[in-house]
Structure 1
Amino acid sequence: MKSNKWNLKPIWLMLIALPAWADNVQDLPNTTVSGKRLPISGSQLDSGSKATLDAATLQTTRAPSLGQTLERISGVHNSSFGANNGLPQIRSLTGSRVYISENGLGIADMAAMSGNMPTAVEPFLADKISVQKSSAAVLYGGNAVGGAVTVETGLIPNQLPEQPIGGKVEISGGYNTPHSELFRLDGTAGNVAWHIDGANSQISGYKIPSYNKMAACRDGTAIMGDHSLELSCQAFPQYEEFFNKAHFAYVDNRYLQKGKDFLDDWGLGLGDVYKEKKPNWFDNSMWIKNPLYDPNETEGYGKRLTELIQKSPDVKGKMPNSHAHRQSASAGISYIGERGYIGMGISRYRHVYGVPGYVATLSSAGDELRTAPVNIDTTQTRWQIDAQYHPATPWLDNIRAQFAYTNAQNKELLGEHLANSLNSHIRQARLEANIHPTDWWKGTLGLDWRNRSTNGQGKDRYLPNTRTQEYGLFALQKFSAGQWSGDIGARYGKVHQQAFLQDYTPSRGLTEGYIKQHNNKTFQLRSYQANLTWQPALFWQTGIRWTHSQRAPDVNELFASNRHHAILANEHGDPRLKPETAKTWEWHNQFNIGNSQINVNHYQTQFHDYLYLGSSGTTKDGHMPYKEWRQGDTKISGWEVDWQHQFDLASYGKLQTRVFADWVKNRAVSCGSDNPAHADFGKYVRCKNDGAYMPKLPTTRYGVGLTWQKNAWNIATSLTHYRPQKHLGRNVNPEPDLGGYTLWDLYASYTHHIAQSELEWFVDARNLSNTEARPHNSTLKYLTPLAGRSVRVGLKMSF
């Protein structure tokens, strides 16, 4: 597939010479700000289970997608959509329930609605990524009911760099991995600080250990009759009906005498005139022994497989249509004074890639494109303003204001032809006033606002044009006294969702009329949280956290009405849906004993009116399963355990060990009776068609990690085992068991100095055992496994 490329090679050549040039730059007088302290922020005060990946950790875990980068954190999985794309899935929740922000404001992308769309984040350029595994709805609204991910890139500097110019350049490539080039520059001139970065990454395709499709997809008898699995496998069995007369011991003599005329006269079939046993009727004299009877014939009638048609490729050793080309560039500038800063930045992101192994078997774009590979072309431009002021007032720590405008163009292509686009224009603003009245009291007061417009083109559009307007007022206060600390918070918000149907005709279905009648919806939301932490001993801290979080239905849950190839379903929203409410209790413990730290978390969430995409048990347009957005009470529970210990090996360096495990269940509160006449019909349909457990539920896993450091050497390795999923959901029929697997990764680096530059030579190897791994929570798990063994070698130069 062709794509427009930004020629960045001259930049790499120029940047190689920068360290030498920087040595000759005249040093400017240092600007010293006295009384400087880390500013208070809402995210800093928020309680709950958190994890942070700093720059050193990111060097060993970063990957093409945000989900892959964070998947080693306990409780966080990668909701994979192939090797080039994946969202973080926190405690089984993802998409519209996990808030993702970059440099303080939400990322305007459509990945939450359509998993094949990328999240416009470049993990290779991140300074730090923080994960809030508990609900953060008080600070960020309903889209954080399942947690929040914060990416910091330093786009808008908030402090003056230590040197007039500095940065890094990195080049890498290897076997079964993209070749990547990136750079970053940070500088200052007086009180003005600036930042520039760019990245380029490209791969023609990935190698895999075996066939791209799972074994059952190549077994026509295994998938015959399971329409959902047929579509997921993109394999369609062809069969013929047969009737074996020799299997039956008795036959109606009238049929032997008259043949087909007897069947036609009485409206009968062969099954009416051939029987395994002689019928016990009042007059059964017409039944005689079948002259064709053969006791060795075991099959009487049914369907016989004649051919298995693979609509999408099924090849060995290669992940079909897995090419990718990702590019990004950004620049920011700010003025930094004694009492704060103000700055602005612009970023540009483009990602062109193939959805691995997947073709659109049904499309309105034309018969000639129905087996064309699905490709994604995403472009995003984002402008951002950030300002913070530290007043002289003792009780007011700082006031921070942010604004961003984002224009994102997302195209779904069949080959190179447009099938569907889902574009967005988003304006958002956030204001925080952070207070510090006393030593024992800190707090945040704030408001945020967002206006999003979406529009689409193409014959396969599944959404009309929409507009979302929302705002929220929030407060979070934290108190501490001796061995006790706690926080309380509240938020009030309003969300308005509107669909424009002038150039869009909803697909026919149960909710077609409702979408036309109720295309203008408003929801009021309230969220609360409270946390109490106690430290009974120096080595032990324990606490309990309660949250009440509400989320309004998103536009796809309300107004979707067509084939949605990304989720392999004919998706239909329902504007009658209500906000969902999640009430969570979380118990957390931390033990610090010597050089060891142990974290144990247990959580339980009761969702009232949980929004889910439910199977109707029917298909539409031939093969596409017909699914509707519905609501039902749901319970989520789980455990997370993390143990880390550092060994001082004296002259042999330092060794850090890590052992972790996580487990989560997401299930319907009650399935009711097996008889729909004597039960809640909605519960009956949910459990019959979707199962007691959520389909694509992340599996239980446990792992171990080792990191050894000595002088210039750093070696890190991890081994993670994913157990087979025993809590299987349904897609009308039960989900197949894909089995468990173990992944082994290794990172090694050597660092040395040349003049004023630091050079790090590194090797990053993933899936060293070349295991065939099919994550149960991946949409494409039947079509492609994770990438096979990869080895990336590179050089990073910092100056």
Structure 2
Amino acid sequence: MKFFVFLSVGLVVFNTYPTTVWAEDAVELSEIHITGRKTPQSGARLDSGSKSVLYNSDLQSVRAISLGQTVEKISGVHNNSFGPNNGLPQIRSLTGSRVYLMQNGLGISDMAGISGNLPSAVEPFLADKITVQKSSAAVLYGGHAVGGAVQVETGQIPQQLPEKNFGGKGEISGGYNTPTTQLFSLTGKSGQIAWHIDGMNNKISSYRVPGDSKAAICHNRAEINTNYPLTLLCQVSRNYEYFFNQGFYKYVDRNYLLRGKDYLDQYELDISDVYRRDKPSYGNWVENPGYDPSVTEGKGRRLRSIEDVTPNEHGKMANSHMHQQSVSAGVSYIGADGYIGLGVSRYLNRYGVPGYASLSTRAGKKNALSPVNIESSQARWLLDGMYRSQQPWLDNVRFSFAHIDAANRELLGNQFADSLNSQSNQGRLEINYRPIQWWQGVLGGDWTQRRTNGEGVDRYLPDTKTIEYAVFALQKFNWGNWSTDIGARHGRTRQQAILGNYQPGRGLNEGYIKQHNNKMFELNSYQAALKWQPAEGWETGIRYSRSQRAPEVNELFASNRHYAILTNEHGDPRLQPETANTWEFSQQISWRNSRLKVNYYQTRFQDYIYLGQTGTDKGDGLPYKEWRQGDTRIEGMELEASHHFHLDRYGTLEAKVFVDWVKNSPVFTGKNDSNSSSWDEYVRRKNDGDYMPGLPASRYGASLVWSKGNWMLSSSLTHYLPQKHLGRVINEEISLGGYTIWDMYLNYSHQLGQSAQMEWFLDARNLSNTEARPHNSTLKYLAPLPGRSVRTGVRVSF
């Protein structure tokens, strides 16, 4: 409306002046030529699924050691923590091999999806931009993206010439209860050649925690006495005393009264064999002279004490050391029609898992619990190129290829236990086109080949070989205030176990792995979405996706102690692909300086693959679990709202609030245990419960970001509710309560000379020093989140 008023007034004013007046005041302006190119089209940009983007300015206050910690403040996204040094993004309750992790366009090592304790080999501190795709991205990236995708961009291979011939940034930081960090990132150009190099070093000896490292429930006598699986999770043992009260019994064997212990020894009897509450009809029984009617118990056992078989540190998290290093470099040729570049990176990480395990008698000492330590390294080569067509219908053709060589060693103390190594090649091709103005599309294909191998007689996985290939298409149409996208993917996955001299552990897989060691799966995924803008600033959408994922190698072939995740893990090579059918509804309203976004989603999994409880162990203190399948339903909601305040001379203020909740529950056809339709349903209900164990807790939060001139201050509060959707770990899960995390970030920047800028910052996490044990953390009974931490440092950019 304002535009039309302005235009009308302008026309009236223009017509009231004679043309000669305008002619007299006319000034001839010099001609200015402006050149530029639009952002290249890509499949990720065409996909209409729900996504959140963290730019460099957003990342300053949320960067953390792990990718999961960095993105956990996005609604619907949690950190699937495996101790303070490692965490994967958990999107709408899904993580691991269901969330695809990428760096600069291609997947990073997927060993972290197989073994959650392993690092994801990506450095959030070096990221320029992180995009989180919360909807299924299986059409673009395959079954590993059935729960979403995370793309990390570091600028390793320059895609355009930088403005300066030489520039970069550096950072040094450290403080209380936080790693010391040094990093640098440099870019430059020479003619049409652009280059980039970066590196980082992170180190900490241990983390401080409020209170004890183990949860209080681990020493609750009533709970520990009746909950054996909890003793395994808490790594404690129960010491019992056995009692026998002779005064409880009215009758005694007369022979015992006459001969005492000699009578027991002669007939190999126990003391309980010669006392009875009721007089037997056989033998020579007489009234017990020591009978006492006030005694209420005859025999049994009492919990005498609870013993920590692993350390329970006060104020300190056991075995939480970490030393992480990385370096990467890239160079590219950039021309008028695109670019082509090559990059290489090296990643090293050595850290402790706050859990302990014992080697079997085959590998070393018996019954000697030792801390679990990880040594991880990765080398990654990346080739990336794009052709920018001059044809109006063809936007670009992009191709990428990566080779990854990763080595992961699990140690108990300093003693080698086993290793999980991988060598993989992956390629991707996208043809992005726009035949007419209202139609955009992408056709593409991708291919992955991976081999895993390991050492150690206790390793839980045989050598494996994986081949995946697929073709996909995604089309987007716009007309008026409507838009829609339609996509499909067809692919195949082969999983093969190379047994050799591998000896499966005792369990489910022992009887099947030799017969079913070569599996082929055919996968099809589809998606369709429709969006409508009924008014300016208001957008409503609906999206449907059908996504398929093949079982991973550990889900098929695992068969031994997996020390690093504190589980005796056993796969099942008879597993079939899982299929997720998802409906998603979205509303987004933008009005002036305010924005509101709401998403509701519901997913129905057919043959959902999960790690099921058995309630047993093999005498090694590790819970014995099996990979199984069953229908599962996921339902959740996300809400985000923000408003920008312009405070004139006091700067600007941005206020945000968010809420999210998710519920992940098995689908049972029977109404109760007695009439469940199958034995599998009965076992799942009894062992795992009516909700999936380890669900992320519902939460809500608020944040403020104030900036004025050279100053920036942000603060956030996030409250996690006690988990009320409790599954079972044989016994019902235990909620460790809710908690609130308060974070704050302060930044002051100023010029340093004519071409450099210096930033001083203070980054404080968990300011209230709250004991926080996320319900979705595997190690929640052994390791809370770190306590109050304060990191201070300086950044220089030039």
Instruction: Specify the TM-score bucket, using the shorter chain as the normaliser.
Output: over 0.9
After TM superposition, the score normalised by the length of structure 2 is 0.92
What is the match of residue 647 of structure 2? 649
CA drift of 1:330 comes to: 0.5
CA drift of 1:250 comes to: 5.7
Measure the CA separation in 2 of the matches of 1:266 and 1:601: 75
Measure the CA separation in 1 of the matches of 2:376 and 2:417: 14
Measure the CA separation in 2 of the matches of 1:172 and 1:736: 38
What is the match of residue 786 of structure 1? 785
Q: Does 1:541 align with 2:539?
A: yes
What is the match of residue 15 of structure 1? none
Tell me, yes or no, if the aligned pair for 1:671 and 1:684 is still in contact at 8 Å: no
Q: Secondary structure at the match of 1:60?
A: coil
What is the match of residue 48 of structure 2? 47
557-566 or 223-232, larger mean C-alpha shift: 223-232
CA drift of 1:416 comes to: 2.0
Measure the CA separation in 1 of the matches of 2:34 and 2:102: 29
Tell me, yes or no, if the aligned pair for 1:109 and 1:118 is still in contact at 8 Å: no
CA drift of 1:627 comes to: 1.3
CA drift of 1:393 comes to: 1.7
Tell me, yes or no, if the aligned pair for 2:508 and 2:571 is still in contact at 8 Å: no
What is the match of residue 70 of structure 1? 71
What is the match of residue 566 of structure 2? 568
Q: Quick one: structure 1 residues 214 and 296, their matched pair in 2 at CA, closer, same or farther if it must change by over 3 Å?
A: farther
Measure the CA separation in 1 of the matches of 2:412 and 2:511: 30
Q: Name stretches of at least 5 consecutive residues in structure 1 with no aligned partner.
A: 1-31
Q: Secondary structure at the match of 1:557?
A: helix
Output the amino acid matched with 1:688. Answer: K
Q: Secondary structure at the match of 2:668?
A: coil
255-264 or 183-192, larger mean C-alpha shift: 255-264
What is the match of residue 550 of structure 2? 552
Q: Quick one: structure 1 residues 305 and 453, their matched pair in 2 at CA, closer, same or farther if it must change by over 3 Å?
A: same
What is the match of residue 178 of structure 2? 177
Q: Secondary structure at the match of 2:735?
A: coil
Q: What is the aligned residue count?
A: 765
Output the amino acid matched with 1:137. Answer: A
**Residues 530-575 of structure 1, C-alpha deviation per residue, up to 9 Å, x if partnerless?**
0001111113111100000000000000000001123322111111
Measure the CA separation in 2 of the matches of 1:65 and 1:605: 28
What is the match of residue 492 of structure 2? 494
Q: Secondary structure at the match of 1:530?
A: strand
CA drift of 1:636 comes to: 0.3
Q: Secondary structure at the match of 1:372?
A: strand
What is the match of residue 241 of structure 1? 242
CA drift of 1:290 comes to: 4.5
After TM superposition, the score normalised by the length of structure 1 is 0.92
Q: Quick one: structure 1 residues 678 and 749, their matched pair in 2 at CA, closer, same or farther if it must change by over 3 Å?
A: closer
**1:413-492 alignment, distance < 5 Å:** 413-492=411-490
CA drift of 1:459 comes to: 2.5
Q: Quick one: structure 1 residues 757 and 274, their matched pair in 2 at CA, closer, same or farther if it must change by over 3 Å?
A: same
**1:309-348 alignment, distance < 5 Å:** 309-348=307-346
Q: Secondary structure at the match of 1:477?
A: strand
Tell me, yes or no, if the aligned pair for 1:571 and 1:627 is still in contact at 8 Å: yes
Measure the CA separation in 2 of the matches of 1:260 and 1:207: 57
565-574 or 696-705, larger mean C-alpha shift: 565-574
Larger radius of gyration: 2
What is the match of residue 110 of structure 1? 111
525-534 or 509-518, larger mean C-alpha shift: 509-518
561-570 or 593-602, larger mean C-alpha shift: 561-570
CA drift of 1:616 comes to: 2.1
CA drift of 1:88 comes to: 0.5
Measure the CA separation in 2 of the matches of 1:363 and 1:588: 56
CA drift of 1:511 comes to: 2.6
Measure the CA separation in 2 of the matches of 1:167 and 1:700: 41
Q: Quick one: structure 1 residues 290 and 737, their matched pair in 2 at CA, closer, same or farther if it must change by over 3 Å?
A: farther
Q: Does 1:738 align with 2:724?
A: no
Measure the CA separation in 2 of the matches of 1:495 and 1:237: 47
Measure the CA separation in 2 of the matches of 1:739 and 1:436: 53
What is the match of residue 213 of structure 2? 212
Q: Does 1:94 align with 2:95?
A: yes
**1:213-362 alignment, distance < 5 Å:** 213-219=214-220, 221-248=222-249, 274=275, 278=278, 290-360=288-358
What is the match of residue 56 of structure 1? 57
Tell me, yes or no, if the aligned pair for 2:509 and 2:558 is still in contact at 8 Å: no
**Residues 663-688 of structure 1, C-alpha deviation per residue, up to 9 Å, x if partnerless?**
00001111736555764110000010
Measure the CA separation in 2 of the matches of 1:89 and 1:110: 16
Output the amino acid matched with 1:793. Answer: T
Q: Quick one: structure 1 residues 60 and 35, their matched pair in 2 at CA, closer, same or farther if it must change by over 3 Å?
A: closer
CA drift of 1:240 comes to: 3.1
**Residues 727-754 of structure 1, C-alpha deviation per residue, up to 9 Å, x if partnerless?**
1111111222211111000000111101
What is the match of residue 119 of structure 1? 120
CA drift of 1:372 comes to: 2.1
CA drift of 1:342 comes to: 0.3
Q: Quick one: structure 1 residues 250 and 537, their matched pair in 2 at CA, closer, same or farther if it must change by over 3 Å?
A: farther
CA drift of 1:409 comes to: 0.6
Measure the CA separation in 2 of the matches of 1:368 and 1:750: 56
Measure the CA separation in 2 of the matches of 1:175 and 1:492: 51
Output the amino acid matched with 1:537. Answer: A
**Residues 347-369 of structure 1, C-alpha deviation per residue, up to 9 Å, x if partnerless?**
11000111124344757421178
**Residues 137-194 of structure 1, C-alpha deviation per residue, up to 9 Å, x if partnerless?**
0000000000000000000000010111111010000000011000000111111110
Measure the CA separation in 2 of the matches of 1:676 and 1:662: 35
Q: Quick one: structure 1 residues 678 and 99, their matched pair in 2 at CA, closer, same or farther if it must change by over 3 Å?
A: closer
53-62 or 391-400, larger mean C-alpha shift: 391-400
200-209 or 611-620, larger mean C-alpha shift: 611-620
413-422 or 69-78, larger mean C-alpha shift: 413-422
Tell me, yes or no, if the aligned pair for 1:33 and 1:338 is still in contact at 8 Å: no
Tell me, yes or no, if the aligned pair for 2:43 and 2:474 is still in contact at 8 Å: yes
Q: Quick one: structure 1 residues 304 and 487, their matched pair in 2 at CA, closer, same or farther if it must change by over 3 Å?
A: same
Measure the CA separation in 2 of the matches of 1:363 and 1:120: 33
Tell me, yes or no, if the aligned pair for 2:357 and 2:621 is still in contact at 8 Å: no
CA drift of 1:617 comes to: 2.9
Measure the CA separation in 2 of the matches of 1:363 and 1:538: 70
Measure the CA separation in 2 of the matches of 1:564 and 1:601: 37
Q: Secondary structure at the match of 1:83?
A: coil
Output the amino acid matched with 2:175. Answer: G
413-422 or 142-151, larger mean C-alpha shift: 413-422
Output the amino acid matched with 2:106. Answer: L
CA drift of 1:238 comes to: 2.2
Measure the CA separation in 1 of the matches of 2:353 and 2:585: 40
CA drift of 1:293 comes to: 3.8
Q: Quick one: structure 1 residues 220 and 364, their matched pair in 2 at CA, closer, same or farther if it must change by over 3 Å?
A: farther
Tell me, yes or no, if the aligned pair for 2:355 and 2:566 is still in contact at 8 Å: no
Measure the CA separation in 1 of the matches of 2:39 and 2:567: 49
Q: Secondary structure at the match of 2:748?
A: strand
Output the amino acid matched with 2:478. Answer: S
Tell me, yes or no, if the aligned pair for 1:695 and 1:735 is still in contact at 8 Å: yes
225-234 or 349-358, larger mean C-alpha shift: 225-234
For the aligned residues, what is the CA RMSD?
A: 2.2
Q: Secondary structure at the match of 1:566?
A: helix
- Percent of counterpart pairs with the same letter? 59
Tell me, yes or no, if the aligned pair for 1:469 and 1:497 is still in contact at 8 Å: yes
Q: Does 1:371 align with 2:369?
A: yes
Measure the CA separation in 2 of the matches of 1:153 and 1:781: 32
Tell me, yes or no, if the aligned pair for 2:367 and 2:620 is still in contact at 8 Å: no
Output the amino acid matched with 2:197. Answer: I
What is the match of residue 382 of structure 2? 384
What is the match of residue 600 of structure 2? 602
Tell me, yes or no, if the aligned pair for 2:410 and 2:563 is still in contact at 8 Å: no
Measure the CA separation in 2 of the matches of 1:778 and 1:767: 17
Tell me, yes or no, if the aligned pair for 1:207 and 1:319 is still in contact at 8 Å: yes
Measure the CA separation in 1 of the matches of 2:90 and 2:486: 26
Output the amino acid matched with 1:772. Answer: E
Q: Quick one: structure 1 residues 250 and 666, their matched pair in 2 at CA, closer, same or farther if it must change by over 3 Å?
A: farther
Tell me, yes or no, if the aligned pair for 1:362 and 1:370 is still in contact at 8 Å: no
**Residues 575-595 of structure 1, C-alpha deviation per residue, up to 9 Å, x if partnerless?**
110000000000011011221
Measure the CA separation in 2 of the matches of 1:758 and 1:363: 60
Q: Quick one: structure 1 residues 368 and 273, their matched pair in 2 at CA, closer, same or farther if it must change by over 3 Å?
A: closer
Tell me, yes or no, if the aligned pair for 1:192 and 1:335 is still in contact at 8 Å: yes
